[in-house]
Amino acid sequence: MSNVNLSKTPSLYKQYLLQGISNVRVFSTLMCLKNILLIDRHWFDFVDLIDTLFEKYPHVKKELMGFPDDWKSLLV
């Protein structure tokens, strides 16, 4: 099974594009949400939940969803 590109792509800040973050993957949407939402306990809980899911399902290929190696530090 492979991932597909997003049909509606968000506009990313140039700094993210320069870091190699693709706007056709799920991670780019999370980066946009980080920039428009209030960053509070709920956001940190959400990021921790994503991390927990990746730990629970280690066979999931994060890179196919656009997650770079340092994804968590980019979201917090």
pTM of the shown model: 0.78
Q: How many CB atoms lie within 10 A of CB 67?
A: 21
pLDDT of res. 38: 81
- C-alpha distances in Å from residue 70, one per residue of 6, 22, 73: 22, 14, 6
Q: What is the reported pLDDT for 1?
A: 45
Distance (Å, whole) CA 9 – CA 61: 21
| 35 burial via Cβ count (<10 Å: 0-12, 13-18, 19+) | exposed
pLDDT of 43 reads 94
Higher pLDDT, 8 or 58: 58
Q: What is the pLDDT of residues 2-42, one digit of tens each?
A: 566 767 777 777 777 777 787 778 888 898 888 888 888 99
| Domain ranges across the chain | 14-75
